[in-house]
Structure 1
């Protein structure tokens, strides 16, 4: 008999950072792509193809690719150009996205350093094929999986548990589960859970292609009759997690709540890499039982959804068996919406689980079910009649016809399966005010001007009631850097005018620069939090792809 799971500790998602294909750089642009059913896959960029030339010619190279993945602000993280060029771009990308997730949470990393853990899902090591045959002192620490987590902890000074996990495609959702368990056990009080995947050499694509799982025409169509495999995708995602009680105590901006998570293994299936419908069904059912929920409570399910002829019918059979909200499931005429973001961005492999989690979080925040990109005709091997399961072809308001929670599955080719259930954030407390002004702080003058420009744009879209939360977050939810300006402004109009001058490098009576040790004009108790969405730090990308290509 499988072990009985204790009731999970509820965990708050208080921050998120993301990079995905199609120019997605934050959760707003990610949501716009998902709800707009945009297909973000395409031809391989030259920065990947040129380095290996004809080695790519006989491979399926259409996929979901990030813009300029080699760019990295090395100086921000106190890395020399030589060290940065040797470090796997996946590790570099993780540093920037994790920083953005902390900024989204309005938690300066140094304030939680002693109790913060790092959990990274990572699989690929393509970058080793870019490096010279003769290693230097940075080669090992720049490319091993373990160093992806260790480098984040080192750069941000985080002293809780830090390690990488590789369970193939389920890696990042397993990282989320492991982070939740660490919080429940008291191993840490804040956790970073993340995943990353970049396609940097033909080696892995060639190996994956030999499994027959890749779509020969380079299309990603989960659950569709035309589905013929997946396309590879690149992404990085990170979430900042705290125990729910702690997040409520600290008045964090809670984006969603993880009611519980679970993992299991396929065990002995038809072949080593074949999915196991019984294991998938048991995983979902066991977590629902542990959380006191039923399938009727789940209104949206973010499926693994690779678009493979074998995997899709097996996965949907597990979904309908464990989550079905129809008459046989005891929920009357309830509806369960099912989708997969792989239709938008391809299969981002070790980043797939956290991307699915962030998509589910955004659905809960907006109470909208996004359409399944490119979906036309249901796979004939899948029968949804009488199940209440719907694959949406257009955006839908998340109404009372569906349960109020979301869930996410991620399945690894290794056989390791992961599942999580999320609920909407509890109502936030009324915002405090007024605000005397806000801080703008960055490493360099150019970065400070760019950040001020982002603030100006944000302020132009911000109503007066939202200003105190913006000012608090910009001042107390950001790490103070070497160059700091104080903008004295009690409202949106005066703040925008001053930010405009700062962005243009012009003097303004409401703007003054502070010395590195000079106190901020607005000091407040750490117990008073008034958190809002504020644009993240602008990376200067001082290490570019050209610097790396010299090594090939």
Structure 2
């Protein structure tokens, strides 16, 4: 972390381009995957709402003098402890942020079609995390589980321990820029050879009123509970919850291994505000210097950036300063630049904000679409975009040639640590040689428990019902070779999507089907991995068998 505080920019060089090969995500409004996240963004949905009852009941009147509207996750205390080999007693005392990270990181590996154990010794873990609200739930003397369940360092260490990952495992707290700093640090570790695969994540939960009250004293919170980045009516932000994780790999390695690449991180950089008006005030000169220096070092100009995901908190001070930095550093080559901020949808997810913004930028690149800025009506009069080509989009727009082909993301911490990344679309994959393809004999369904196995079979059946036949080989390959083999496994012998759907749905409903048979724990699947034919498809996520795990404030446990 010395580089984050040195006042000098540090960057990943052009030869160190990094592929995003897996994404896991949880966001307010029931968002549990990239499809639902993108849908909310494109429809400009406001995913914020009232404080959940379980938070309010635990602290009662302590919430009365703070702004409670925000972006809240559904059931953040629910966790599949058994899946991760954790006892109920331990699970209750582990910070729900750490538990959420375990599930979302697992989902990111599943999205990558890469079992976490593959290359485990060379896999690094990088986590951005700030809050420690769960400590306020404990009364009485902390026990040993509590000690190792709530410190920031244990968030990354627990992921590495649970999944058996032997690369660097680091948790970092730079306030709101934490998760983009984590992504930057992961990219540097990959280019330096410290690891060959990395997962970078960020998480934020609002579990007690104390932190909200402290943030409110800074004057940064919206008194009416609405985040309005760049808008004339902007009066602060609302707090938000989220967890995001990306699996990263050196681009050359990802292409060699035929991974599915969501997007490419062309470069990233971090610096510090240094001396500014006050300790927490943003420094536009530092922001502009960060952007300009990275672009210069990776051989790009502002004209190459067509969409910029801004920090965009919706504060009267921060937005004008940031937009001046954007127009200074990115409008050096003409063309149109679209600028947005997902905080209007989610609230400010703080230590998760950087990864949530990066995932939004990845989805913009994948869909070649500029989404509308949620809630935007009139430009803040303190922001002057005259003649700059900068546009805050009020509706969804095709990403045309008038705008640069790349996206960029920035995330600024109240600590003064700034982070910036530039992304490009995934390169077209090489075609799979005909000799590597062949008849598909079927696929495996595997889970930890009988209940989870049946539920996963049902999810697979629903997915197969809408799957074109030419997508079935990739589905079967990923299900069989791109997911972890668990204690409960069945083989579905089906050579088409239609036959597979019928068999999976029958099994999910507890019916015998001639195409489905159980596999013993040590019995290999009847379909060895075809040499050189790795193909990754999107599959339904693992069905967590959730149980509510929370330490009650009176010292009891529920």
- What's the TM-score once normalised by structure 1's chain length? 0.97
Match of residue 116, structure 1, among 120, 123, 140: 123
The equivalent residue for 1:351 is 352
Q: Note the 1:251-330 alignment, pairs <5 A.
A: 251-324=258-331, 329-330=332-333
> Counterparts of 2:550 and 2:413 in 1: how far apart (Å)?
31
- In structure 1, the residue matched to 2:168 is 161
Give, in whole Å, the separation in 2 of the partners of 1:330 and 1:350: 33
Partner of 2:86: 79
Q: How far off is 1:493 after superposition?
A: 0.5
Aligned match of 2:99: 92
Tell me what 1:467 maps to.
Answer: 472
Matches within 5 A, 1:371-520: 371-431=372-432, 432-520=437-525
CA distance in 2, matches of 1:307, 1:520: 53
How far the C-alpha of 1:430 sits from its partner, in A, is 3.0
Contact 2:304–2:405 (Cα < 8 Å) also in 1: yes
Partners of 2:389 and 2:359 lie apart in 1 by 24
**Contact map agreement 2:302 2:333 (CA 8 A) in 1:** no
Distance 1:547 1:511 in 2: 44
Alpha-carbon contact 1:85-1:547 (below 8 Å) kept: no
Matches within 5 A, 1:364-375: 364-375=365-376
Query: Matched residue of 2:355: which SS?
Result: helix
Give the drift of 1:132. 2.7
Q: Are 1:243 and 2:246 counterparts?
A: no
Q: Is it true that 1:335 corresponds to 2:336 in the alignment?
A: yes
Equivalence for 1:530: 535
The alignment partner of 1:205 has SS state of helix
Match of 2:117, SS state, is helix
Q: Does 1:207 align with 2:210?
A: no
Tell whether 2:33 aligns with 1:32: no
CA distance in 1, matches of 2:91, 2:426: 38
Offset at residue 527 of structure 1 (A):
3.7
1:230-279 CA distance string (max 9 Å, x none): 00000000000000000001000000000000000000000000000000
- SS of 2:79's partner is coil
User: How high is the TM-score relative to the length of structure 2?
Assistant: 0.96
Residue 187 and residue 535 in structure 1: after superposition, are their counterparts in 2 closer, same or farther (change >3 A)? same
Say how many residue pairs are matched: 546
For 2:438 and 2:264, the matched residues in 1 are separated by 27
Kept in 2, the 8 Å contact 1:339–1:392? The answer is yes
**1:11 and 2:18 matched:** yes
Contact 2:12–2:191 (CA under 8 A) maintained in structure 1: no
Tell me what 2:4 maps to.
Answer: none
Q: Counterparts of 1:137 and 1:267 in 2: how far apart (Å)?
A: 39
Determine helix, strand or coil for the equivalent of 2:490: strand
Which string of whole-angstrom CA distances, capped at 9 and with x for unpartnered residues, describes residues 394-416 of structure 1?
Answer: 11111111100000000000000
The whole-number CA distance in structure 1 between the counterparts of 2:333 and 2:412 is: 27
**Cα offset, 1:433, TM superposition:** 4.3
- Once the two structures are TM-superposed, the CA of residue 288 in structure 1 deviates from its matched residue by 0.3
Q: Note the aligned Cα RMSD (angstroms).
A: 1.4
Given the superposition, is the C-alpha separation of residues 137 and 207 from structure 1 closer, same or farther in structure 2, using an over 3 Å criterion? Answer: same
Cα distance, 1:505–1:430 mapped onto 2, change above 3 Å: farther
2:150 is matched with 143
In structure 2, stretches of 5+ residues that fail to align are 1-6
Distance 1:456 1:177, change over 3 A: same
Residues 124 and 526 (structure 1), Cα distance of their counterparts in 2 relative to 1, 3 Å cut: farther
Give the C-alpha shift of residue 547 in structure 1: 7.5
SS at match of 1:75: coil
Deviations along 1:311-344, whole A, 9 cap, x unmatched?
Answer: 00000000011111xxxx333xx11000000000
Q: C-alpha displacement at 1:346, in angstroms?
A: 0.2
Q: Where in structure 1 are there 5+ consecutive unaligned residues? A: none
CA 1:125/1:225 → structure 2, altered by over 3 Å: closer, same or farther?
same
